[in-house]
Structure 1
Amino acid sequence: MGKIRGDFGLILRLLVGIAIGICVGLWASNMSGVGEVAQTVPSSASNAVMQVVGSIKHICGQFIFYAVPLVIIGFIAPSITRLGKNASKMLVTAIGIAYLSSIGAAFFAMTLGYTFIPMLETPGRLDELISLPDLLFRLDIPAPMAVMTALVTAVVLGITTLLTESKTFETLLSEFERMVSMVVSYFIIPILPLFVACVFAQMAYSGSLTKQLPVFLQVIVIAICGHFIWLAVLYGIAGLISRRNPLEVARHYGPAYLTAVGTMSSAATLPVALSCARKSKVLSRDTTDFIIPIGATIHLCGSVLTETLFCMTIAYLLTGVLPSVATMCLFAMLLGIFAIGAPGVPGGTVMASLGIVIAILGFNEQGVGLLMAIFALQDSFGTACNVTGDGAIALMVDGIFNPKGEHLQDGS
């Protein structure tokens, strides 16, 4: 009962944060007259409110992203030492599954696109968003290293500690894991509702909730439905591979899903995702601590599904025809590779894949601009799909390397 209350409490705080953020953003927008008169200068009161909101969001975001590399090292490296010889095999397996999941999502998006896009009513042009005011105060907290650097460092530290049988360093990594766990529990998770509230306040103020969203609402609805269908496929496969109940993993992911919706970042959601996965009774702790941080970096199935669908939509809007099947197949295969190396930050998948978007699909500046604008509208839902899908990958890997279900978590 305590665990259920804990999950519900975090979900409730996140939902309250979203509601408050939207209310504050709409209030500031109405105070400035932005929603009624296009050229009205924002009032000093609304401007000051949004300056404070932006500053709080910046500082909270800076601390969250500062801690992400520490979380990756703190959880992956110790888990490798505990996993022993299976660690390298699990890493290769996780990368392979993540790639298959991404290209599978891309091909599924292609099916949706060829089926539904020709039926959609062509929307008009995108309305411009209202510019956010400058920050009232700014505090930059640079991360100690990039996310991919932290991932490689964690793997190197874990494997070398394992090969050298260094008990001293193994103990240090274990102590560091406890320290990072405290940072997650006492610092990151408590400030997440505030961070999410500020994100939604800015979205409401700028107009992305009331102006851009209706323009491509039909495509976004198709994409979100596609996310849930693909998650059902992933968890179904995970259940078959592991011979365990996949719902025992998925049912704990509510807080992580909502956090991803608010932060739009797999990396920023990582602490909550770890906490959710650790509550499952059908996952071992070592597999969880190893796969979930890796998944946040390499598994972007939801973003891939969305980008594929949106690229097809934009091509249809600009040219009047959908890209050929051969072109889209090549794009999907390469997009899966680029997704593995994409940063787990807002818009990371699109930024990492702009090269193939331009080279293969032939997008010009207008097409790229449309892609980035539309992708930003649903980025939170694509990220939530990515994060939730990591639980399925963890269950698959645990089923492969821990078929007897040894050392399963107690759900605490």
Structure 2
Amino acid sequence: MKSFNLGLLPRLIAAIILGILIGAFLPAPVVRLFATFNSIFGNFLSFAIPLIIVGFVAPGIAELGNGAGKLLAITTVIAYISTLISGFFAFTVSTNVLPKFIHYSSSFSAANPEEKLLKPFFTIEIPPLFGVMSALVIAFILGIGMASLKEKNLYNVVSEFQKIVQMVIEKLIIPLLPVHIAGIFANMTHAGEVARILSVFGKVFVLIIAMHLTIILFQFFVASLYSGKSMIMALRNQIPGYLTAIGTQSSAATIPVNLECAKNNGVSEGIREFVVPLCATIHLSGSTITLTTCSIAVMMLSGMPVTLGKMAGFILMLGVTMVAAPGVPGGAVMAALGILQSMLGFGEAQLALMIALYLTQDSFGTACNVSGDNAIALIVDKIASRMKLKAA
């Protein structure tokens, strides 16, 4: 018999419903039991975050350093600029729209995280081996060093470490996330905050999807303007890739269909076979919109100040960190946990809510990511033809 595998999104929705029922109908000791699990899992997650950064950022930078010269540099710069535009677009829209329906919730206060939430029965401290910023510095040093050296010994070690970290994410963190989120919602329900939080969820979700569609139109407008191709034709050709990404929830799994979309757009074979797989890793404009918007929503719920200075640094670093996003559902938010913690000061409750918010729209974020990849392919194809560049 084939084993029945329920997807992550249905499990997440079931966890939210179960958490609400537990918080509403079961006694406080049961909720405290979930709070105890959340405390232990949250501490383990804090321990794992620096390892995730080193495990994915270092080999990611090393792999970029061994690419096809000028064409790699051009594609990477365009992808990063696109990511930054998406992030600052999300910041502008979110700071103007979200305050209209999001207000401070004491359950997520960074200063008093336990003001209403029940405390765990006990806590187990799992201190990280090093801080998040130390992990980023180590990852950059290792990545740049490995890209510069011809020897593969260290690269092989780091690549195997990456596989171990990804296994921890796939086999431990991702399966336990629904339990963690159920516990958070059980505690929120017990604290009387869940109705307002769910109301915020729905409105943030609609806003994010609207921004995804807007940035896709902008990317194809710019690409069509520069390449001379029809914007309507390019958008129509992208529909199969968009729908496939919604179904698979994976940029990597959408690559074959996205290559066919690029072919229909008239992108040359060498360029599309180079740009589309590369951008599936380094260009996550949809994920950046989601993470920026969700982080601002959580900060507003928490009563934390949202400033251009703080968010600009976060968006600039997010563009780099997205290279580290592991190829699993929710990989982008897992890679971003470190900078959410170090740059925005998110605690356990804020990180849990970020994960829940992100995963509810992950399919649409992936669809936005892969659509932008083909817009970049049109631009790079035109640049390559003018500069007479070829993919390796």
1:303 to 287, 294, 304: 287
8 A contact 2:259–2:276 mirrored in 1: yes
Q: Which runs of 4+ in 1 moved over 6 A?
A: 33-40, 123-126, 404-407
8 A contact 1:314–1:371 mirrored in 2: yes
8 A contact 1:284–1:406 mirrored in 2: no
Alignment map for 1:50-199 (pairs within 5 Å): 87-122=68-103
Q: How far off its partner does 1:358 sit?
A: 0.5
Match of 2:349 in 1: 366
Distance 1:333 1:393 in 2: 19
- What amino acid is the match of 2:215? W
8 A contact 1:123–1:216 mirrored in 2: no
Q: How far off its partner does 1:272 sit?
A: 1.8
Q: Deviations over 1:319-363 (max 9, x none)?
A: 2x4421100011011101111232343212111121111111000
- 1:238 corresponds to 2:238: no
8 A contact 2:263–2:269 mirrored in 1: yes
8 A contact 1:242–1:403 mirrored in 2: no
Gaps of 5+ in 1: 1-20, 41-79, 81-85, 127-151, 157-201, 408-412
Match of 2:202 in 1: 217
8 A contact 1:323–1:361 mirrored in 2: no
How many residue pairs get aligned? The number is 255
Distance 2:311 2:18 in 1: 40
- What amino acid is the match of 2:317? L
Q: How far off its partner does 1:406 sit?
A: 12
- What amino acid is the match of 1:257? Y
8 A contact 2:84–2:319 mirrored in 1: yes
Q: How far off its partner does 1:123 sit?
A: 9.7
Q: How far off its partner does 1:369 sit?
A: 0.4
- What amino acid is the match of 1:107? F
Gaps of 5+ in 2: 1-5, 27-65, 109-142, 148-177, 186-194
Distance 2:271 2:219 in 1: 18
Q: How far off its partner does 1:243 sit?
A: 2.1
Q: How far off its partner does 1:34 sit?
A: 7.9
Please give the secondary structure, in 2, of the residue aligned with 1:266: coil
Match of 1:144 in 2: none
8 A contact 2:102–2:200 mirrored in 1: no
Match of 2:233 in 1: 248
Q: Deviations over 1:280-334 (max 9, x none)?
A: 2x31122111111111111100000110010000010012x44211000110111
Match of 1:383 in 2: 366
- What amino acid is the match of 1:109? A
Distance 1:378 1:213 in 2: 14
- What amino acid is the match of 1:117? L
Match of 2:267 in 1: 283
2:278 to 294, 299, 302: 294
Please give the secondary structure, in 2, of the residue aligned with 1:93: helix
Match of 1:314 in 2: 298
- What amino acid is the match of 1:326? G
- What amino acid is the match of 1:360? M
Distance 1:361 1:392, change over 3 A: same
Distance 2:19 2:334 in 1: 31
Further displaced range: 102-111 or 397-406: 397-406
- What amino acid is the match of 2:337? L
8 A contact 1:257–1:384 mirrored in 2: yes
Which protein has greater RCO, CA pairs closer than 8 Å, 6+ apart? 2
Match of 1:228 in 2: 213
Q: How far off its partner does 1:269 sit?
A: 1.6
Distance 2:362 2:103 in 1: 22
Q: How far off its partner does 1:247 sit?
A: 3.0
Q: How far off its partner does 1:215 sit?
A: 4.9
Q: How far off its partner does 1:226 sit?
A: 0.7
Match of 1:61 in 2: none
Q: How far off its partner does 1:367 sit?
A: 0.5
TM-score (norm 1): 0.55
Please give the secondary structure, in 2, of the residue aligned with 1:268: coil
Q: Deviations over 1:173-217 (max 9, x none)?
A: xxxxxxxxxxxxxxxxxxxxxxxxxxxxx9xxx9x9xx9976511
Match of 2:113 in 1: none
1:323 to 283, 293, 306: 306
Match of 2:323 in 1: 340
Distance 1:36 1:304, change over 3 A: closer
